[in-house]
Structure 1
Amino acid sequence: MLRRRGVPVALASVRERWTAFAGSFVALCLGVAIVTAAGLAYVSAEPRVPDRLAGAPVLVRAPTPVQPDGVFAPDRAWPPEEAEALARRLAGVPGVAAAVADRSFYAQAVIGGRPVGLRADLQGHGWAAAALGPYRLASGTPPAGERDVVVDRELGLRAGEPVTLLTAAGPAAYRVSGTVDGPGFYVSDAAAARLAGGVRVIGLVTEPGADPAAVEAAARAAAGTRGTVLAGDARAAVEPKHDSRTRWIGTQVLAGMAALAAFVSVFIVASTFAFGVAQRRREFGLLRAIGATPRQVRVMMYGEALAVGTVAGAAGAALGIAAASPMGGLLVAAGFEPPGFEVRVAAWPPAAAFAVGLVVALLGTWAASRRAARVRPLEALREAAVDERPMPRSRWIFGIAFTAGGVVLSVLTVSAGAEAMFNYGIYTAMALIVGLTLLAPAVVPPLAHALTWPLGRARGATGMLVRENARVAARRTASTAAPVLATVGFAMLITSMVQTTAAAFAAGRGAAVSAAAVVAPDGTPGLSDAAVAAAGAVAGLPGTVYHGDTPLDALGLTPGALRVARDLRAVAGDLGRLRGDTVAVASRPAGELGLRPGDTLPVTFDDGRTVPLTVVAVTSGAPASLLLPRDTLRAHDPSALTAEAYVAGGATPPALPPELGARVLSVAAYAASADAEEDRLVWTFTLVLVGMSAGYTAVAIGNTLLMATSGRRRDFAVLSLSGATVRQVLAAVAGESALVVTLGTLLGALAALPALLGLRAGLAELAGAPVELVLPWPLLAGIVAACLLLALAASVLPARLAVRRR
């Protein structure tokens, strides 16, 4: 009979006990919804053609090597002479009205005495580049003089009015010659050539009626190997690097959300079906007794999983499509996607998410179906309510293996390098969480016995009931404690790891600076030369240079800045010889490139010029791969900004005019705020993952307790017949729920602490100073309290209904 009616039996089983499958349904529905929304956001997160270049049908880009994933170095520029010659050749291409070399530089308006309109991309341009927008004059005339500028009409300035522009050199007075209907500050092309670095893009403005495809082909022939011709959507390759980095961060967030959703869905489905098998042993025994084979029992359970997965997958896909657009807005608001990002609906992400939901349902059911198939005929009919064998041998083996692996990894975390330390910490906690979850049915009874020891000595039967139920129903107690264990362990690990690391790095930054105060940007992306000079500070000028196809971070230093860097020292050569066309190379790149003092290192600067530099020292503790004289780097990169400047010890920093966009901070305040934006993004990502984990925990706890409570109606009836009042029954149920949450919290902390202690020891070894372990107690307490409230609601309310019905 079961062979012929396997599918109808599975469907009937789902209909009959739908409350038992509610948790799996909700988990799969949410998982598919998250995967759908994340997939739609992922496929929509493609590079966009910058608005200010969108008016040029064809762009020619300087040859730039392919960069590794996660690296966002500026593109290599043409040398000035080559850029001009190439622009002249491209201007002669049939159908091209103008070939415009895009020269961009840092510029920011000072309104009301303070810089306004902070943006990551360069806002200063030569007037010719306005045609690439295309932006047209809304009023006034194009800039003609050295101090003329055309501004965005949204600033509210009129032609003829004065305006102060802050550039890399400092604030300067300009005259508004006109306004345009787009963002940016447009100076004369001659002024832009002095203010900007190299030319990386040449835009082709075509004549009316010109064939873009023909122009593209002719431009490709004219550029040869010295330029990459881009047309149509391919022009998105020149999007600003900060937008590329933001999109890359967003993809990491989306991938993490989708992976966590799939993993936790498997976890919940597996725990739900496993607990369901424990409750349905009598049913499976009866099926076996009337002739059902183990294979037929497995097929029935797979049918139940497919039924739940199909309905949940369809609902989740629809929910994900509806949630995708709001998710896109949240990603932009949180800084995980660039402005202008919009989610587009495509067919394959919901279809793929639906398929993932079915696979997750089947994977989660696999172990439970095997256990159900092992039930022998009539075995369950004779079985008592006590869990005589709550754990199979395979669970013992895997549980011990994962736990032992976690202990070993915690030891390795201490001696791991800076890059591997965090991975080891995460692997440690993951292994211990999995190991303790697998061993929970064996660990929970003795731990519960110890925790409830005072209840055994208390007067009344309520404490005794709580204690004995936790002991004899190990499977039920472990199934409820497991999601709390996973959530508390994961939350404690990831939040403490982020905050401990941030605090350690801040302390390291402060210890590495020997200065009385630090000058930091205030409403600007960096410090101008005028701000550094006004503060009487020393500073390094950051930049990026190329050695062949390899980008290297560089720092331009003065002799005074060399003295401020506390950990910097020469392991070979002499840093005192750093002047002119010389360079000091950090130990790691020096070893990779085989460089020693006296060797020559050719580098290509921001302006596209390649200069052979003489290596004068190999350094240890350097803040960049290459150290150069500040004047040398400034000569090749007139738009570079200083990240921070240092006021020498004993000096009193002067009050800085607000128009400089700089503020004076103590060393401690600077150390805490230097990576504020990076820390904010990491913390936001952390809260997203913790929030998702807590949400899934809510589903798991609620479903497990609902299933367990509905299956205990006979227990409640026996207690009532024995004289227990409704209040006493509910008190016992509430006590059991509070106990399992406590057990899960303790085991979760036990899983996370070895990883965190190993991380703290490793950070202390790297920093050479003690590192304090930072635990976000309010957040962790909130998670535990939420678990407790949910557990009480999911157990006490159904128990009250069950007792009243009696």
Structure 2
Amino acid sequence: MFRMSFGTFRERWELFAGAVLSVAVGVALVQASLLVLAATGEPRIPEGLSRQAEDRIREGFVGAATVMGMTAFLALFLAVFIVGSTFGFTVDQRRRDLALLRLTGGSRGQVRMLLLSESLLLGIVGSALGVPIGLIAKHVQTWLLVEIGLVPDGFTAPWRLWAVIVAGVAGVGVALTGVFAASLRAARIRPLDALRETGKAARVMTASRWLLGLSSTACTVAMVVWAHGANLIGAMMAALGISMVGAVAMSTLSPLVVPFAAWLCGLLAPGSLAIASLRDGVRRGAATASPLIVLVSLLLGLAGTFGSLADAGGEEAKRSLNAHLVVTSKGEQAERLPGIEGVAVASRQNAVDITITAGDRRGVHSGIIAVDAADYMHTHTLVPASGDLNALIGDTVFVGPAQHSEWIGAGEVLSVDAEGKPLSLTVVGGLPETLEPGENFLVPRQILPRQVWANAPTETVIQVVAEQNPGVVAERIERAGIGEVHTVQDWARARAGRNQAGNVQILSVLMGLAGLYALMAVVNSVVIAGTERRREFAVFRVTGLSRPQVVRTAVAEATAVAIIGLVLGCAVAAAGLAGIGGSVRAAIGVTVVHVPWALLTVVAAGSLAVVAVTSGITAFLTTRERPVSLITTKE
């Protein structure tokens, strides 16, 4: 049986090439991600850096580990999905071959063993190719992480044999998992039905496909509903799950959409051969649309989720202030603001360079803000989760939103090192968790030496006197040379932009790798669909169509399928955004949804171009032979 599998693998290599490449790329991404992930667990901090810079590097390593973990997870998901859909389509293209095997004495078990042997061979070859590709992928991932600033220059990921073994085993497992369902389905079809393309062989929506499609749809709807009541972290994870499970649902149920879409297209172009081919080739259209659905749902879902969170953070920041202006300056310069004509309240927030240690935990060096509690309460609307800001006087400290998850309780005494001056501060309350990480701690400015906050980066939130024009007051502050002046709306928009810039850095890694992987599957599906239509194209030509007309027909059909995939992928992404929008509304009282229109335009135009070019080239190459030589044979 293995010898027969090897023979089929060698003779029909064009059917297996895409699946082998998919396994190889999946193994390479998993291997590279594991190597980089292991390296981020042992961060090497360059010497001579400030404590804040060290904290930023440590946070960058945590971010890099998160990105690599998500990359490995997405790579496995895409590999299983792509290999499964590719091999399933390949099995459908070989129905006659398998039927002849059954008619010559082969049992159902032998058919299953043949397909599983082919998948095992596919997994071994793909894993073997993936190991050297993984070395290249590791260097690319490392370069990307350095370029976007998550890890410092000189970061390297050493070779680890266990990562290669895990990735190789995962590659073989992906191949067997992706092929298992197709082998069961192929063995259940009666051989005469397969030869005549009747009965179960002609049925695209099988019972298992209905079960998977409907269950995935129900799971997607449940995640959308659950996300409305979840916190932001839960909603973000739900959005990722919706993108993946929803893509499976839409891909599985896409054969129901293809005939309807063909009917709609037929109203616009009645009598079109491309539309007739689309209506007749439901299985082929569904197989081509599936990777496009995954591509669009993942890219737009991730970009929309991160963008919505960034915009929501900016909206929350704007709503958290009861003020007109925000001035950025140094601490000493900000001391002049209360004396500016028209300034009613100037809440100075100095980002001080001190260390706070809670018990045996690692010291916190960043996100520590020195404030005057009275001014802070006048200009900020965020209600403490515990305690009272009026108590933030003397040797006290307030826990900020970023430390909310640490559960530092009221009454706990924290150790402080303020440039050599030791302090003991008692926790008197804490602020609630916010969409943005926010500050770690708030401390009274009065207890800190002046030199600690005099040169510290400072944001001053200003309330303007009622009868004064905020624009006029802003001009006075600028003329005084104190610092940069922004309206609260502009300040919040810039803050959201900075957060979005960080998200884009992460997305550039995730979307780049996942997008290229899924796009490769799109090309593979189009090529398989085209190369198996030699006889069909020959029939077109002997009935009077020229070779260019056949190529144009194939391109038109493939483009229509691509549009179907784009629409279904957008539907999945919209479901994810609906979930994240509901969660944001529950958190801040307003719905904030970011639709990545620019990315949608690029993905749509790029996908249509790739599908059109690939289908055109494939149709051109498969029509090189004389049609008469093919019309009398059955592939």
TM-score (norm 1): 0.68
Alignment partner of 1:539 is 2:539: no
> For residues 665 and 547 of structure 1, what CA distance do their matches in structure 2 show?
36
Which residue among 464, 470, 477 is the counterpart of 1:654? 477
Q: Which amino acid aligns with 2:424?
A: V
Matched residue, 2:594: 774
Structure 1 residue 496: Cα displacement: 1.5
The Cα of 1:282 is off from its aligned counterpart by 0.8
Counterpart in the other structure of 1:470: 278
Q: Is the 8 A contact 1:541 1:556 kept in 2?
A: yes
Partners in 1 of 2:564 and 2:223 — Cα distance? 24
Structure 2 letter corresponding to 1:269:
V
Is 1:335–1:681's contact at 8 Å kept on the other side of the alignment? no
Match for residue 242 of structure 1 among 56, 79, 95: 56
1:611 aligns with 424
Tell me which residue corresponds to 1:730. Answer: 551
Q: Is the 8 A contact 1:567 1:621 kept in 2?
A: no
Once residues 348 and 639 of structure 1 are traced to their aligned partners in structure 2, the CA distance between those partners, rounded to angstroms, is: 52
Q: Is 1:266 equivalent to 2:87 in the alignment?
A: no
Q: Paired residue for 1:503?
A: 311
Q: Which residue of 1 aligns with 2:342?
A: none
Secondary structure of the corresponding residue to residue 623 of structure 2: helix
- 1:277 — aligned with what? 91
Aligned partner of 1:682 in structure 2 is 503
Change (3 A) 1:382 1:366: same
Match of 1:739 in 2: 560
Match of 1:229 in 2: none
2: distance between equivalents of 1:708 and 1:590? Answer: 52
Q: What's 1:224 paired with?
A: none
Alpha-carbon shift at residue 629 of structure 1 (Å): 2.1
Among 29, 33, 36, the residue aligned to 1:41: 36
Is 1:360 paired with 2:174?
yes
Deviations 1:642-676 (A, max 9, x none): 45222342444534999x9x633332332233365
Match of 1:182 in 2: none
Contact 2:330 2:454 in 1 (8 A): no
Whole-angstrom CA distance in 2 between matches of 1:620 and 1:35: 38
After superposition, what is the alpha-carbon deviation per residue over 1:246-288, rounded to whole angstroms, capped at 9, x for unaligned? 1111111122222222221111111111011111111111111
Aligned to 1:632: 447
1:293 aligned residue: 107
Greater strand fraction, Structure 1 or Structure 2: 1
Of the candidates 609, 623, 626, which is equivalent to residue 789 of structure 1? 609
Tell whether the 8 Å contact from 1:284 to 1:375 is kept in structure 2 after alignment. no
Decide which of 8, 17, 20 is 1:22's aligned counterpart.
17
The CA deviation at 1:712 is 1.5
Q: Is the 1:634–1:640 Cα contact (8 Å) retained in structure 2?
A: no
Matches of 1:562 and 1:794, distance apart in 2: 61
Superposition pairs of residues 248-647 of structure 1, within 5 angstroms:
248-383=62-197, 388-456=202-270, 461=271, 463=272, 465-520=273-328, 528-536=330-338, 537-541=346-350, 545-549=356-360, 555-559=369-373, 561-569=375-383, 575-576=389-390, 578-582=392-396, 595=410, 600-607=411-418, 609=422, 611=424, 613=426, 615=428, 627-633=442-448, 641-642=456-457, 644-647=459-462
Cα deviation digits, residues 459-504 of structure 1 (max 9, x gap): xx4x1x2223222321111111111111111222111122222122
Give the drift of 1:438. Answer: 1.5
Q: Report which of the two has the higher share of helix.
A: 2
The answer to whether the 8 A contact 1:586-1:626 is kept is: yes
Distance in 2 between residues matched to 1:248 and 1:573, nearest whole Å: 31
Matched AA of 2:12:
R
Q: Distance in 1 between matches of 2:239 and 2:405?
A: 31
* Contact 1:305–1:361, Cα closer than 8 Å, also in 2: yes
CA-CA distance at 1:18 after TM superposition: 0.8
| Rg larger in structure | 1
Contact 1:448 1:743 in 2 (8 A): no
Label 1:802 to 1:264 Cα distance change in 2 as closer, same or farther (>3 A).
Answer: same
Provide the residue aligned with 1:93 in structure 2: none
Distance 2:557 2:17 in 1: 22
Structure 1 residues 408 and 291, CA gap change in structure 2 (3 angstroms)? same
Structure 1 residue 411 displacement after superposition:
2.4
Partners of 1:726 and 1:547 lie apart in 2 by 76
Does the 8 Å CA contact 1:387/1:474 hold for their aligned counterparts? no
- Distance in 2 between residues matched to 1:323 and 1:486, nearest whole Å: 22
Unaligned runs of 5+ in 2: 339-345, 465-469, 627-635
Tell me, in whole angstroms, the C-alpha distance in 1 between the residues paired with 2:495 and 2:114.
Answer: 59
Distance in 2 (alpha carbons) for counterparts of 1:311 and 1:349: 18
- Please give the secondary structure, in 2, of the residue aligned with 1:605: strand
The whole-number CA distance in structure 2 between the counterparts of 1:354 and 1:399 is 30
Change (3 A) 1:331 1:570: closer
Q: Aligned equivalents of 1:638 and 1:276: distance in 2?
A: 68
- The SS at the match of 2:485 is strand
In the TM superposition, residue 410 of structure 1 has moved relative to its aligned partner by 1.7
Contact 2:379-2:462 at 8 Å conserved across structures: no
1:802 aligns with 2:622: yes
Instruction: Quote the RMSD (CA, aligned, Å).
Output: 3.4
Structure 1 residues 571 and 744 mapped into 2: Cα distance closer, same or farther (>3 Å)?
closer
Describe the superposition over 1:375-395 as per-residue Cα deviations: whole angstroms up to 9, x where unpaired: 333332222599731122122
The CA deviation at 1:632 is 2.2
CA gap of 1:707–1:45, structure 2 versus 1, over 3 A, is same
SS state at 1:313 partner? helix
Structure 1: segments with no counterpart, 5+ residues:
1-5, 54-103, 107-119, 122-239, 521-526
| Structure 2 CA distance for partners of 1:248 and 1:378, relative to 1, 3 Å | same
Match runs of 1:155-166 below 5 Å: none
Q: Kindly state the Cα deviation for residue 735 of structure 1 after the two structures are TM-superposed.
A: 1.5
